[in-house]
């Protein structure tokens, strides 16, 4: 069964149509890029999937259920901005995740933090921007979720941090779970993706596999995207 399904999903904010009649499905075991320019509806889609927003019309289902208490237990979400208070230490963050999520695997997080050289008593305040991004991703990927929603995980980070983030996503690959990565930096993520969803002005214009696009177009998804979304 699909882990994420949208049926004629629409979302309006006042007069603005953020998502317009979106139909799509994401199967477990896939790493999917949600690709579109700024303001195309990527974040709206992710917030609908984790229940932070409700649809204006249509339906969104996670593992066959409407977003709510049950789905939040199986959805691991990385927001596009920092949300953990600066005074927290790595240990306190792990306590926090452990309290909220029964699928949080503390040993896994500790191992990844150790490899990164972050000690348990280090405060967020003391971490560089790149380290903060990595630590947040570690927390999110240390849950044994069925659906990971990563909103712009590589926006504004240096190439070494980007490589670390992509490697962490691959390292934690689970055939039972799907990963959705929203980004407009396609060239950087293309080779870790199975499928891509193109979204523009709230409409899904394409859902295909990376290698199908490359095979049919004779060029990368990034090059194809640039043509489709030419300003």
Point out which residues bind other proteins (CB under 8 A).
29-31, 163, 166-167, 170-171, 173, 190-194, 210-212, 214-215, 218-220, 222-223
Question: Coil, strand or helix: which one is 147?
Answer: strand
Q: Which is nearer to other proteins, 69 or 171 (CB)?
A: 171
Q: Provide, rounded to whole angstroms, the least separation between the CB of residue 173 and other proteins.
A: 5
Measured CA to CA, the distance from residue 71 to residue 64 in angstroms comes to: 9
DSSP, collapsed to helix, strand or coil, labels residue 125 as helix
Q: What length is written for the chain?
A: 231
Rounded least distance, CB 219 to other proteins, Å:
6
Distance CA 96, CA 230 (A): 44
Task: Give the residue with the Cβ less far from other proteins, 50 or 142.
Answer: 142
The least CB distance from residue 41 to other proteins, in Å, is: 24
Give the span between the Cα atoms of 105 and 52, in whole angstroms. Answer: 24
Residue closer to other proteins by CB (options 178, 204) is 178
Of residues 53 and 185, the one with the C-beta less far from other proteins: 185
Match 């306590």 to its residue by tokens. 95
């Amino acid at each position: 069964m699909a882990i994420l399904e949208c049926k004629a999903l629409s979302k309006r904010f006042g007069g603005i149509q953020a998502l317009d009649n979106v139909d799509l499905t994401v199967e477990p075991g896939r790493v999917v890029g949600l690709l579109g320019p700024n303001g195309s509806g990527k974040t709206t889609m992710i917030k609908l999937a984790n229940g932070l927003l409700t649809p204006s019309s249509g339906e969104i289902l996670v593992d066959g259920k409407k977003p709510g208490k049950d789905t939040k237990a199986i959805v691991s979400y990385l927001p596009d901005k920092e949300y953990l208070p600066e005074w927290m230490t790595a240990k306190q963050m792990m306590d926090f995740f452990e309290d909220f999520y029964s699928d949080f695997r503390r040993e896994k997080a500790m191992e990844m933090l150790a490899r990164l050289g972050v000690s348990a008593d280090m405060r967020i305040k003391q971490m560089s921007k790149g380290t903060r991004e990595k630590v947040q991703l570690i927390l999110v990927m240390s849950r044994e979720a069925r659906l990971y929603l990563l909103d712009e995980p590589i926006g504004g980070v240096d190439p070494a941090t980007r490589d670390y983030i992509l490697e962490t996503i691959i390292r934690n690959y689970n055939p039972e779970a799907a990963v959705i990565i929203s980004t407009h930096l396609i060239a950087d993520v293309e080779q870790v993706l199975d499928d891509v969803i193109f979204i523009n002005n709230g409409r899904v214009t394409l859902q295909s596999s990376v290698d199908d696009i490359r095979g049919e177009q004779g060029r990368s998804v990034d090059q194809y995207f640039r043509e489709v979304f030419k300003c």
